[in-house]
Amino acid sequence: MNRRNAYSALNGFRAAWWLPGGHLQSLRRKFGPGVTVAQEGERLPLEDGDFIELAWVRPGGEIAPGDPVVFILHGLCGCSESLYVQALQHHLLARGVASVAMNFRGCSGEPNNKARSYHSGVSADADQVFRKLHERFPDNPFHCVGYSLGGNVLLKWLAETGGPPGLDRAVSISVPFDLAQCSAALGRGLTRYYGRYFLGRLQQDLAAKKRKFRETGNDAELARLEELGPPQGIGSIWEFDDRVTAPLHGFADAADYYAKCSSLPLLAEIRTPTLLIQSADDPLVPAASLPDPTRLPENVRLELTRSGGHVGFFAANGSRLEQAIADFLVC
């Protein structure tokens, strides 16, 4: 990385005094208030008959050849309307930069057409969508931003592909690098309340998909979901991943899923200039699961702040996160 690319506005970050600790920073991001931006939706068909919903923000409604485009991946139980996604798109719009947020399967408010959904390692879906976008805009440099689960997907994808053609640089934020450690953390202390929230949302999504399949007569896909057994008795994210996520997506169990999809062992394979933004007080990502900066390749930089929570990073004068991301990508 050259000096310009290594710069980040989060250097010296200090959390706002009225938002001390990782929990308050994290909850402030989730529950707002936050900025919103007008998004233009697009349904993109996938090769297996499913679909992905995109949310575009284009300054002036156009993307000229040579203009950068930022590709955004949201986190667990998030979507293109999540406040952190809209905050970034709003900030990029003010800089005249186009962006497109990808909703993972089933995350756009409508259940997808397949029993399979999304998880922390769905790099194939990100790759397919990105390649379709790059084919449409071959003369435009792309950058990618991934939050939390989406950040893990991003890093796994970068490592697997060696950096897809057309993607210039990337930023990941609050990544659960070691999925097993982070899943276990969701069952401990105050963090278990986050785990309960995520579990409830995932169970609701599963129930909604079953209803859709019954109403539309999609018996084959409904049968795949029914084979997983009744959801009653699932009491943690680990159990959900063991009984639902893993078998639905071809993994032996939760441990197999976590081992094969964690980005931590793959970071040395990344060739794209990449910034990792993490906070030491992130309640969802244990400090022990963070990568050792001395073992990262030269093109991958870890910026670890003392405070900031999970996708928080609110200083006294507002969020510093969007500025840091944009400075690294497009300035």
Which one-letter amino acid corresponds to residue 174? S
Tally of residues, the chain = 331
- Joined together, the tokens standing for residue 15 give 């959390």
Mean pLDDT of successive 10-residue stretches along the chain, which has 331 residues: 50 87 93 92 97 96 93 97 97 96 97 97 97 96 98 98 94 98 95 96 96 97 95 92 97 98 98 96 96 95 94 87 93 65
Domain count, the chain: 1
Active-site option among 282, 307, 319, 327: 282
Domain that holds residue 78: 3-182+264-330
Whether 29 is covered by a domain: the verdict is yes
What are the C-alpha distances in Å from 199 to residues 85, 233, 238?
22, 12, 9
Residue 27: exposure state from Cβ atoms within 10 A (0-12, 13-18, ≥19): middle
Active-site option among 26, 108, 117, 148: 148
Asked if 176 contacts 148 with a C-beta cutoff of 8 angstroms, the reply is yes
Whether 218 is covered by a domain: the verdict is no
| Token pair 């409830």: residue | 200
Whether 216 is covered by a domain: the verdict is no
pLDDT, residue 33, reads 86
Whether 224 is covered by a domain: the verdict is no
Specify whether 282 is catalytic. yes
Whether 228 is covered by a domain: the verdict is no
| Token pair 């991934």: residue | 146
Whether 138 is covered by a domain: the verdict is yes
d(CA 292, CA 190): 26
Whether 28 is covered by a domain: the verdict is yes
Which one-letter amino acid corresponds to residue 206? L
What are the C-alpha distances in Å from 133 to residues 137, 166, 167?
6, 10, 11
- Joined together, the tokens standing for residue 172 give 């990941």
Q: What is the number of other CB atoms lying within 10 angstroms of the CB of residue 230? A: 8
Question: Residue 290: which CATH number?
Answer: 3.40.50.1820
Asked if 290 contacts 8 with a C-beta cutoff of 8 angstroms, the reply is no
The dihedral built from the CA positions of residue 191, 77, 114 and 249, taken in this order, carries a sign that is: negative
Whether 188 is covered by a domain: the verdict is no
What are the C-alpha distances in Å from 113 to residues 49, 149, 201, 211, 223?
8, 22, 19, 12, 13
Specify whether 91 is catalytic. no
Active-site option among 74, 119, 143, 310: 310
Specify whether 310 is catalytic. yes
Asked if 103 contacts 54 with a C-beta cutoff of 8 angstroms, the reply is yes
pLDDT, residue 317, reads 79
